[in-house]
A and B are shown apart, each in its own frame.
Chain A
Amino acid sequence: MKMEHIERPELLIIGGGPAGLSAAIVASNHGVRTLLVDEGVKLGGQLVKQTHKFFGDEEFYASKRGFEIADILVDEVKRSPNVLTLTQTSVIGIYEDAVGVYDRTKEKVFSILPGYILVAAGASERFLSFPGNDLPGIYGAGAVQTLVNQYGVLPGKRFLIVGSGNIGLILAYQLYQAGADVVAIVEITDRIGGYEVHAAKVKRLGIPVLTNHTLVRAIGQERVRGAVIAKVDEHYSPIPSTERELVVDVICLAVGLVPSVELVMQAGAELIYVNELGGYVPRRDFRMRTTVDNLFVAGDLAGIEEATTAMIEGKIAALTIVEELRNLDLSEEIERLQKKLSIFRSGPTSEKVRRGLEKMGIHYEGVSFQNVKQTPGLEHKLKPVIECFQPIPCNPCETSCPTGAIVVGDNINNPPKIDYEKCTGCGICAISCPGLAIFMIQEDYTGNRSLIGVPYEFLPLPQKGDVVLALDRDGNIVSNAVVEKVIKSKNLTNLVYISIDRDLAHSVRQIVMPESKPASYVCRCEDVTVEDVMRAIDAGFTDYEELRRYLRIGMGPCGGRTCSSLALNLLTRKTGRSPYELRPQISRPPIFPVPFASLKGGEEDEG
């Protein structure tokens, strides 16, 4: 029974990202024997690496974080009796006689003969050519997201990001969350590629987004030690006189995605080049069917877009397959989803996708949106200020508002409107907004001070009474501020209320903890911090010599002059043992580094 399910599924879904998982759920609900295979250790595709809340609407998990959406979808798939999932399994080819599937855990290739195939294999990252682009320390943005958000491993301390699309912007924010420095984002065009709200989040952390700039070359012999960037002219050529060096140890390339069309190509489906969709994409119809009758596509493979549209596409493809397999009429549900898709794609952020799909004969109407004028007034009242000016398909502010004060309306791309009469100032919208674009403001708080509530997703979380630094939209420090209250949220977007000078109420949009990254070094040679020593002691290195071997304290050129007493001090404090019990660092010659040449006999003596 199980082998039958693996070898002859009615539907084979390749790729367990948002598109594939959504399709599997639909297929399973209609009793279709479905096999879903994915290369990764975990299902969820790119969702598992995303820590930010997603845009979109409730049906498609808006305001949930990417990895949470993955959990929800995966749970549902795992509960489905009709779906069998194989992870760490790569489809190696769609051959003439079978689909070849390699299970890495068993190190075994299976032949599969599916009735229908849905390829939802996503995309791969573009590479960039510049001198030194092969050095260790240069990563695709996706690789860094995997390391940081899946394994909790930071591949460096100071990052440069190339590309200001949503991936570059989101990565910058994620790196900041993980405690790294993002030195800059360079963008070769004259405008930021990603959503304005993502850009705003990054800017107010003080991360510069340098438009009209490019990476010229990586510095470093054995790994990245820095980067040279420069302004570009109107032909995107670097202007030599504007070159400057940045000290970074990681360069992340976030310069776009290419649909992974290898398999559909092998299956014989026609490809067409559509620049707006990411390059070569399979030709497909409204129902996601390619030019091969039983081969469907969905998600980034069908055109680079985002998770919500991938989920809808996956569902449409699955419903179409179910219709054929079970001889059902599901056109009503398909039409509902089509409509949803067309509304999603009607906004200005989907303009490129619309143009791309047009080339395939798939037409979506664009709608123009008027910016909503904010009418704060009501200075005595605590209320949200919604700084969401770019129409994007998103509505959690509306759906989360308990009093119905915020309205997005029929078209999900509409910028939200707020009725301050109905608003109670609860702040739920600010916590729900995936773009962190809603702030709470009460201009008249006490005396000449205002109360500002900012969404906060970093560690450590400030406490009431803390003095923090207040930053403006561009990340400039404008003043100190006192934390008045902290609303902890289950969705981990906390709301920190600060009081600041009234004049600054409309400019402060971010706070940071003063010296939020304390660099109390014990050993300068090897960059060993107090925290490192404490952690090492916790891990069981309670003898000084052990600490030294573990942390290399005292092994640097300084010979332990600065560090040994500090380290011993920490050891005493932490373990309660007196310095008398502990032994000092063993001293070894030379206690000052000397060159070989200085140790051989001088020429004068020989002469």
Chain B
Amino acid sequence: MRDKSIVIIGGGIIGASIAYHLAIMGAKNVVLFEKNYVSSGATGRCGGGIRQQWSARGNVRLAMRSVRKFETFKQELGWDIEYRQGGYLLLAYTEEEAESFENNVKMQREEGLHVEILTPESIKRRFPYVNTTGVLLGTFCPTDGHANPHLANFAYIQRARELGVEVYTHTEVTVVETSSNRVTGIQTKRGYLKCDVLVNASGAWSKDVANMAGSDLPTESYRHQILVTEPVENFMTPLIMSFSKNFYIRQTLHGSFLMGQGDPDEKPGINYRTTLRFEKEIATKLTTVLPFLRNMRIVRHWSGHYNMSPDAQPIIGRDRNVENLFHAVGFSGHGFMLAPAVGEALAEMILTGKTSHIDLSDFDMNRFERKLVKEKNVV
């Protein structure tokens, strides 16, 4: 298996992590194609948060494994990716939200995750810059954190290259050749390449790639916007987030504040433009929650895409129609933080048919025929 030709489509962090993990597990013949440049898609546009506080158990497990791997990232890959475990502070503003937070924490604790439930008073004491008006409670997981997505993406790509993976950027896979429900090869502007395994890690374009290979995916891409301020000296350690108020914000190690919100009116499709409305809404909202932001300046604002699945959980594993096609898509906005665990698990799955840390059956694409457990903790 290790000599088989494995082609990965997508040079974002998911594709890069898969490539890297395949290579360290001894795969000899791995080629990665990226139609644009490394981290040009959602990875390079994302918020960079790393969270374990999920409402769906499978996500908690995947995230906890990822955090283990982020904790040793520097030693393992030799790259400082500005990783900081400052925790995630989730704020509940409604009774319903508070109740579901308490249920989530119970489940998360069952999984061995250390999560605290904080009263508004203790939030105020620990994070005095937060305006707790309207906050009913908060949950705080100190091992959550954030990192620089570009650096993490580049680290995986560079290490993969050093381990023998061929990485081609600005090379779009234009044709996927199949024969009796198997992928046999792919076509790019560089020519034809025979392949034994094809990995779809194409993020926002996941459905297109699946279609090219003669399959389909229930994914849709939605634009999300983010903005960042000019840097100031570091002081805000946790990423702060609210689902009912619809925001997340963190301070990067470099000093900028990076923040985003979702837009329920967004139509599916690729759209890289930005709206003034986003800036106005997020400014209005966040200067209330974090009054210190008043004197800070926005320096950049951009958009990227969430590749949404029907239950807002990723699709990881073998395609159900094309037997040598694997997917790692539909991350619904959380691909960056899950990438280390996903890369590891999918590489194991491809090379050995089983996984050592994660049960990928929670994420297979057949689950959409069963009853869905939707991940609710999403901005």
Determine if A109 and B275 form an interchain contact, defined as CB atoms under 8 angstroms apart.
no
Q: Which residues 33-68 of B have a CB within 8 angstroms of A?
A: none
B280 at the interface (CB under 8 A from A): yes
A95 interface hit (Cβ, 8 Å): yes
Give the residue among A99, A109, A268 with the most B Cβ atoms within 10 A.
A109
Query: How far, in Å, is A442 (CB) from chain B's closest CB?
Result: 64
CA distance A109 to B275 in the complex (A): 13
Q: Could you tell me if B280 and A96 are in contact, using CB atoms closer than 8 angstroms?
A: no
Q: List 20 A-B contacts (CB under 8 A).
A: A93-B274, A93-B276, A95-B274, A95-B275, A95-B276, A95-B277, A96-B271, A96-B273, A96-B274, A96-B275, A97-B275, A97-B276, A97-B277, A99-B276, A100-B276, A109-B276, A109-B279, A111-B277, A111-B280, A268-B273
- Shortest distance in angstroms between B282's beta carbon and chain A's nearest beta carbon? 13
| Chain A 74-103 residues near chain B, CB threshold 8 A | 93, 95-100
Main secondary structure of the interface of B (DSSP, over half): mixed
CA distance A109 to B279 in the complex (A): 10
B188-216: which have CB < 8 Å to A? none
The answer to whether A109 and B280 have CB atoms under 8 Å apart is yes
Bound Cα distance from A266 to B272, whole angstroms: 10
Q: Which of B276-313 contact A (CB under 8 A)?
A: 276-277, 279-280, 301
CB-based contact A100/B273 at 8 Å: no
Query: How far is the CB of B351 from the nearest CB of chain A, in Å?
Result: 44
A359 to chain B, nearest CB (A): 24
For the side of the interface on B, what is the size category?
under 10
User: With the chains together, A111 CA to B271 CA distance in Å?
Assistant: 21
Which residues of A lie under 8 Å from residue B273 when comparing CB positions? 95-96, 266, 268
Q: Which residues of B contact A268 (CB under 8 A)?
A: 273
Most chain A Cβ neighbours within 10 Å, of B271, B276, B301: B276
5 closest Cβ contacts across the A-B interface?
A96-B273, A95-B276, A100-B276, A97-B275, A98-B276
Tell me, rounded to whole Å, the shortest Cβ–Cβ distance linking A8 to chain B.
15
The majority secondary structure among interface residues of chain A is mixed
By the criterion of a CB under 8 Å from any partner CB, how many residues of chain A are at the interface?
11
Shortest C-beta distance, B375 to chain A (Å), equals 28
What A residues does B274 contact at CB under 8 A? 93, 95-96
Residues on A with C-beta less than 8 A from B301 are 93
Report chain A residues within 8 Å CB of B277. Answer: 95, 97-98, 111
* Contact residues in A for B275 (Cβ distance below 8 Å): 95-98
Separation of A162 and B301 alpha carbons in the complex (Å): 35
List chain B residues, Cβ under 8 A from A95.
273-277
A99 to B275, CA, bound (A): 9
| Measured CA separation A98–B280 after assembly (Å) | 12
Q: From residue B260, how far is it (CB to closest CB) to chain A in Å?
A: 16
Closest-CB distance, A395 to chain B (whole angstroms): 47
Q: How far is the CB of B263 from chain A (nearest CB, A)?
A: 11
CB contacts under 8 Å to B, within A357-372, are: none
The CA-CA distance from A585 to B354 in the complex, in Å, is: 92
Chain A residues whose C-beta falls within 8 Å of the C-beta of B279 in the assembled complex: 100, 109
A109 CA to B280 CA in the complex, in Å?
9
CA distance A95 to B276 in the complex (A): 6
The residue in chain A whose Cβ has the minimal distance to the Cβ of B273 is A96
Give complex CA distance A110, B319 in Å.
Answer: 49
Distance of A111 Cα from B276 Cα, bound (Å): 7
The chain B residue with its CB closest to the CB of A112 is B276
Which chain B positions have C-beta within 8 A of A99? Answer: 276
- Could you say which residues of chain A place their CB within 8 Å of the CB of B271? 96
Q: Find the A residue at minimum CB distance from B271.
A: A96
A76 → chain B closest CB, angstroms: 32
- In the assembled complex, the CB of B134 is this many whole angstroms from the nearest CB of chain A, namely 26
Please name all residues of chain B whose beta carbon is closer than 8 Å to the beta carbon of A109 when the two chains form the complex: 276, 279-280
With CB as the reference atom, state the residue of chain A lying closest to B283: A109
Scan A286-330; emit 1 where CB is below 8 A from any B CB, else 0. 000000000000000000000000000000000000000000000
* Sample of 15 further A-B pairs with CB below 8 A, known A93-B274, A109-B279: A93-B276, A93-B301, A95-B274, A95-B275, A95-B277, A96-B274, A97-B275, A97-B276, A97-B277, A98-B277, A99-B276, A100-B276, A100-B279, A111-B277, A268-B273
Contacts of A100 in B (CB 8 A): 276, 279
Cα A268 to Cα B273 with chains together (Å): 9
B291 to chain A, nearest CB (A): 16
- Taking CB atoms, residues of chain B closer than 8 Å to A111 are 276-277, 280
Minimum C-beta distance from A385 to chain B (A): 56
A7 to chain B, nearest CB (A): 12
Cα of A273 to Cα of B274 in the assembled complex, Å: 25
A residues 96-127 in Cβ contact with B at 8 Å: 96-100, 109, 111
Report the separation of the CA atoms of residues A422 and B167 in the bound assembly, to the nearest whole angstrom: 78
Nearest opposing residue in chain A for B298, CB measure: A92
CB-CB < 8 A to B276: which residues of A? Answer: 93, 95, 97-100, 109, 111
Question: Which of B271, B275, B301 has the most C-beta atoms of chain A within 10 angstroms of its own C-beta?
Answer: B275
The minimal Cβ–Cβ distance linking A36 to chain B, given in whole angstroms, is 20
Minimum CB distance partner of A111 in chain B:
B276
Q: How far is the CA of A109 from the CA of B273 in the complex (A)?
A: 19
Tell me, rounded to whole Å, the shortest Cβ–Cβ distance linking A95 to chain B: 4
Q: Output the residue of A95, A96, A99, A109 with the most chain B CB within 10 A.
A: A96
